[in-house]
A and B are shown apart, each in its own frame.
Chain A
Amino acid sequence: MTLTPMEQFEVKPLVAEPLFHIGGHPIYFTNQSLLMVIVVIAASLFLTLTVKPGRLVPTRGQSMAEASYEFVANMIHSATGEDGLKYFPFIFSLFIFVLFCNFFGMVPGSFTVTSQIAVTFALAALVILLVIVVGFMKHGLHFLTLFVPKAPWYLLILLVPIEVISFLTRPISLSVRLFANMLAGHTMLAVFAGFVVALGSAGGVFTGLAIAPMFLIVAIMLLELLVAFLQAYVFAILTCIYLNEALHLHDHH
Chain B
Amino acid sequence: MTSHDPDRLKDLGARLDEAQRRNAARAKGPPPTQLGIAGRFATELVAALVVGGGLGWGLDWLLGRFGFHTRPVFLIVFFILGAAAGIRNVMRAATEINARMASKDLER
The answer on a CB contact under 8 Å between A173 and B47 is yes
Q: Which of A158, A169, A230 contacts B48 (CB 8 A)?
A: A169
Contact assessment for B25 and A177 in the assembled complex, using a CB-CB cutoff below 8 Å: no
Given A173-B44, A176-B47 in contact, is the A237-B29 Cβ separation under 8 Å?
Answer: yes
B: which residues have CB within 8 A of A?
Answer: 21-22, 25-26, 28-30, 33, 36, 39-40, 43-44, 47-48, 50-52, 55, 78, 81-82, 84-86, 88-89, 92, 96
Q: A interface vs B, CB < 8 Å?
A: 70-71, 74-75, 77-78, 158, 161-163, 165-166, 168-169, 172-173, 176-177, 180-181, 229-230, 233-234, 237, 241
| Most interface-central of A166, A230, A234, A237 (chain B CB within 10 A) | A166
How many interface contacts (CB-CB < 8 Å) are there between A and B?
67
Chain B residue contacts of A74, Cβ below 8 A: 22, 25-26
Known: A77-B22, A173-B89. Contact between A168 and B51, CB under 8 A?
yes
Q: Which residues of B contact A163 (CB under 8 A)?
A: 85, 88
Contact A169 B89 (CB under 8 A): yes
Of listed A71, A176, A181, A229, residue having the most chain B CB within 10 A = A176
A177's contact among B26, B39, B78, B84, by CB below 8 Å, is which? Answer: B39
Checking B30, B36, B85, B96 against A169 with a beta-carbon cut-off of 8 angstroms, the contacting residue is B85
Residues in B whose Cβ lies below 8 Å from that of A233: 29-30
Nearest-neighbour CB distance to chain B for A73, whole angstroms, equals: 9
Establish whether residues A172 and B55, one from each chain, have CB atoms under 8 Å apart when the complex forms: no
Query: Could you name 27 residue pairs across A and B whose Cβ atoms are closer than 8 Å?
Result: A70-B21, A71-B25, A71-B28, A74-B22, A74-B25, A75-B29, A77-B22, A78-B26, A162-B81, A162-B84, A163-B85, A165-B48, A165-B51, A165-B82, A166-B88, A166-B92, A169-B48, A169-B85, A169-B86, A169-B89, A173-B43, A177-B39, A177-B40, A180-B39, A180-B43, A230-B30, A241-B96
